[in-house]
Amino acid sequence: MERSAIAPMPSLEIKRYTGIMDWLTTVDHKKIGLMYFWFTVTMGIVGGALAGLIRFQLATPGAVIETLQAAHLAGGPEPFSLFSNGGGIFGDQDRFNQMVTMHASVMIFFTIIPGFIAFMNYIVPLMVGARDMAFPKMNAFGFWLLIPSAMLMLSSFFVQGGAAASGWTTYPPLSILGHGTKPGQDMWVMGVHLAGVSSILAAINFIVTIASLKVMKWRDLPLFAWATLFVSIMALIATPVLAAAVTMVLLDRNFNTTFTIASQGGDPILYQHIFWFYSHPAVYIMILPGFGGISHVIAAFSRKRVFGYLGMVLATGSITALGFVVWAHHMFVVGMPTWMQYYFQVASLAIGVPTGIKVFSWLATMWGGTIRMTVSMMFACGFLCLFVLGGFGGLILALTAVDYTLNNTYFVVGHFHMVLVGGSVMLLFSMTYFWWPKMSGHFLSERLGKWVFWLMFIGVFIAFFAMHISGANGMARRIAVYYSDFRFSNYLTTVGYLMTFTSACLFFGDLIYSYRRPKITVDDPWQINDIQQSFEWATSCPPPVYNFAKVPPIPILEQIPSHDHKH
């Protein structure tokens, strides 16, 4: 593009801040997107460190029941461990449960969901040809809500009784215990509320932005924008339900209600149903934006346009719809009627069909292309490999009869880590390597990136495959001590964790160092507009405050349709 084509915006009489005040007061979707991004990176490190404490506990000699008992028999001191009721260096097993709870909460509410929102915020308005989000101030408000939310959750480690320790699922009656004396759980609930409001605001904003500010027709909407739209619809419908569920816990704890207290007419299963009605869609909220993003990555580096555009959109739509009607497969063992369990089994299996369509479509996109193995593309391929593997475990888990054995074991933990880390996190890395040049104006290192990729790919595979083995052999989840039968697979997981965490640290360093690299002077460093013209690559890196001098900036869509309209 010719730089001279970009004319400056007419100057408005608005007081402009600079420096830190600029970031604190900005309503620019790009700056907010970057703030989301750095928030996510920070929280990812916190969540990863919490995971590290869990992994190291499970690698200590004091985590093996037999070793513990041998020490008791010999009358010697308690074997070394991080969390143990007999004196771990970081506290008792309740502390361990706090780590488990907070690891999950930080990773879900502050890393993966806002991680995708970072890209949605930055890229989607560019992609649809808008100058900003539909509600810029609401956008800023949504981001700033996350800060107190995270502070509430993380500071709860330092209050009396410590943080919430009933798992991120917060099942009552366990989460009701300690009311009035242990405020950690209440702080967790309030944190979730704030994160939920943030999520709802973002969802409304994305829906309105896409629907009203897009300059193309629906049939030309890029896949990432489609994914954003579907995810926002999901978040908009599901998040209030989560708010209802955790509010029941809050009320039962503090206001003497009895929603979940069986002895007074409540029912713990009521909570589980309502909670999973949000939390199953939440797993798609945590991966669908990545599905959209990966389509762009694969198309860009295969030098082809994405295969089966219509099928991709419909598949995303059907995952969205089906995501709402399969929640009870998380609770097969609570004793539901047979027909109900069977329905949830079949519906859960059915989700595999649209997911399969997407996987095959990505492969077909690559087929016949000239594939450039950039780090972004490597992460995309790594995602395909690990996601299919994790999805296979999901198909097995969906079978009710089999789930009677595997429910709440490390097999489940391995499965959802394989699809969340092997899936969502790999997608986030892929999208970062892809869009970071656009977002910051600097490249990330391709050479170091190969180390980042291989360490993460192998680490994730080892860590979470070993978890599957632990679970299939009978290791329950959320335990701080285990039978010695599981020692080896737990060591493997810890080794995998170390590799993954090293990779994340390398990436973090590279991210900071990237600002010292020379500025990108072209609009389209990946030469994407040669293949499929798109708005976000038709403005500078990073784009100016007003995104585009003229909207739409390039008359491309009528000339080169983004898909074959006949089909």
Partner 1 sequence: MPRVMSLSLALILALLCAHGTAADGPSVVLPAPPSATSAAPESASARIDADVKLFNPDVYRLDDQGSPVFPGHSLFVEPVTEVARQVLSATWFSALVFLPFLILPQVLLLVIIFKFKDRGDGRAPATFLTHHKLEVIWTAIPFLAVLIVSIPTYYVLEFMDDPPKETKDLQVVTVTGKQFAWMYEYKRYYVDPNADEKVCLQSSLDPVNQLQEPLLLTKGRSVSFNLTSQDVTHAWWVPAFGVKKSAITGRFTNVWFTPDTLGVFKGQCVELCGDKHGNMIITTVVVERDEFERYMTLLRHRDDTVPVWNALQPPAGKTVPAGAVAKAVAAFLQKGDSPERQYALSYWMASNFSSIQRVPPPKGSSIAEVLGVAHPADDHLARDKQIDEVIRAKRKQVDELLPALAKSLAALPAAAATPILR
Length of the chain: 567
Closest distance between partner 1 and the C-beta of residue 379, in Å? Answer: 13
- Answer for which of 278, 307, 416, 435 binds partner 1 (CB under 8 A) is 307
Query: Which amino acid, one-letter code, is at 347?
Result: A
* For partner 1, the closer CB: 305 or 442: 305
- Answer for which of 29, 103, 305, 438 binds partner 1 (CB under 8 A) is 305
* For partner 1, the closer CB: 181 or 370: 370
Binding mask 345-364 for partner 1 (x = CB under 8 A): xx--xx-xx--xx-xxx-xx
Report the 3 state secondary structure along 449-473. HHHHHHHHHHHHHHHHHHHHHHHHH
- Answer for which of 23, 157, 324, 392 binds partner 1 (CB under 8 A) is 392
CB atoms near residue 318 (< 10 Å): 17
Structure token digits, residue 559? 């000339």
Beta bridge mates, 482? 64
Site for partner 1 in 472-531 (CB under 8 A): 473-483, 485-486, 531
Site for partner 1 in 157-216 (CB under 8 A): 165-167, 171, 173-174, 177
* For partner 1, the closer CB: 26 or 534: 534
Q: Does 42 bind partner 1 (CB under 8 A)?
A: no
Task: Please state, in angstroms and rounded to a whole number, the distance separating the CA atoms of residues 447 and 465.
Answer: 27
Q: Does 245 bind partner 1 (CB under 8 A)?
A: no
Binding mask 400-419 for partner 1 (x = CB under 8 A): xxx-xx-xxx----------
Site for partner 1 in 213-232 (CB under 8 A): none
CA trace torsion 336, 337, 342, 345 (10° rounding): -10
Query: Which amino acid, one-letter code, is at 23?
Result: W
Closest by CA to 190, choosing from 225, 163, 210, is 163
Structure token digits, residue 488? 């080896």
- Side-chain-facing half-sphere of 333: CA atoms under 13 Å: 9
- Answer for which of 48, 125, 308, 414 binds partner 1 (CB under 8 A) is 308
Binding mask 520-539 for partner 1 (x = CB under 8 A): -----------x--------
The residues near 381 (Cβ < 8 Å, ≥ 6 apart) are: none
- Answer for which of 3, 217, 516, 567 binds partner 1 (CB under 8 A) is 567
Q: Does 334 bind partner 1 (CB under 8 A)?
A: yes
Q: How far is CA 116 from CA 79, 227, 384, in A?
A: 42, 11, 18
* Residue span binding partner 1 (CB under 8 A) among the ranges 39-47, 273-281, 371-379, 448-456: 371-379
Site for partner 1 in 44-103 (CB under 8 A): 65-67, 69-70, 72-76, 85-86, 92-94, 97, 100
Pair 198, 40: CB distance under 8 Å: no
* For partner 1, the closer CB: 121 or 562: 562
Closest distance between partner 1 and the C-beta of residue 292, in Å? Answer: 18
Q: How far is CA 348 from CA 138, 272, 304, 345, 423, in A?
A: 36, 18, 33, 5, 18
Question: How many chain residues touch partner 1 (CB under 8 A)?
Answer: 102
Closest distance between partner 1 and the C-beta of residue 95, in Å? Answer: 8
Task: Please state, in angstroms and rounded to a whole number, the distance separating the CA atoms of residues 251 and 264.
Answer: 14
